[in-house]
Amino acid sequence: MTEPEETIEANLVAALVAADVPLEVVGALAPAEDGTEKCVPLSFVGVMADVASQDLDWRGPGVPFTYTARVSVHAAFADDKSGALFRNACRAVRGALVALTGDGCSALTGDGFNCDAFVLGNTSTALETMGDGEGMTKSYTATVNGRFIPLQTNEEA
């Protein structure tokens, strides 16, 4: 069974790739291809989704939950001498995330997860050590509200 965090993350990754973000986009929960080690370049976009809270004291399918989604742009100075890569990646990420607000939230729906709301939160920019050098990181946070109703397989039906 796919967990809601996996669905949210995978659909965020797909939205960022479709937005032509100029860096590799990697989901924290996404597996590596068979026979390869999961690794990322120094400059990349990382995507994570976590449970923030259960919004109703009830057990069963369709319980409303709040999730936190984070998208972090990492640009190593060695890859980005002018700063243009970092700026362009951040602009593309912000554009993709803004497109998910309002009715755009439906792009996160799938595999039994139904997105009810996508609300952008704070950003945070920091200097970071990357490999043998330094670079910039900008993290975007969002609150995702939704309900998860596990899909039944033929074996369960």
What was the pLDDT predicted at 156?
52
Residue 95's pLDDT band (boundaries 50, 70, 90)? very high
154 in any annotated domain: no
156 in any annotated domain: no
What was the pLDDT predicted at 2?
85
The mean pLDDT value for 73-80 works out to: 96
Q: What angle do CA 72, 84, 27 make, to 5 degrees?
A: 25
Percent of the residues in the chain that have a pLDDT greater than 90, as a whole number: 83
Residue 152's pLDDT band (boundaries 50, 70, 90)? confident
Residue 69, strand partner residues: 49, 142
Q: What whole-number distance in Å separates Cα of residue 43 and Cα of residue 91? A: 15
Q: What whole-number distance in Å separates Cα of residue 106 and Cα of residue 139? A: 23
The mean pLDDT value for 18-28 works out to: 97
Structure tokens at 127: 């200097």
157 in any annotated domain: no
33 in any annotated domain: yes
126 lies in which domain range? 4-148
Mean pLDDT, rounded, of the chain: 94
E strand spans, the chain: 24-27, 44-54, 64-76, 113-130, 133-148
153 in any annotated domain: no
User: How far from 42 is each of 56, 57, 95, 146, CA to CA, in Å?
Assistant: 41, 43, 23, 33
Task: Supply the pTM of this predicted model.
Answer: 0.92
Count of the separate structural domains present in the chain: 1
132 in any annotated domain: yes
What was the pLDDT predicted at 155?
58
Question: Quick one: CA dihedral 75, 121, 144, 100, positive or negative?
Answer: negative
The CATH number of residue 124's host domain is: 3.30.2000.30
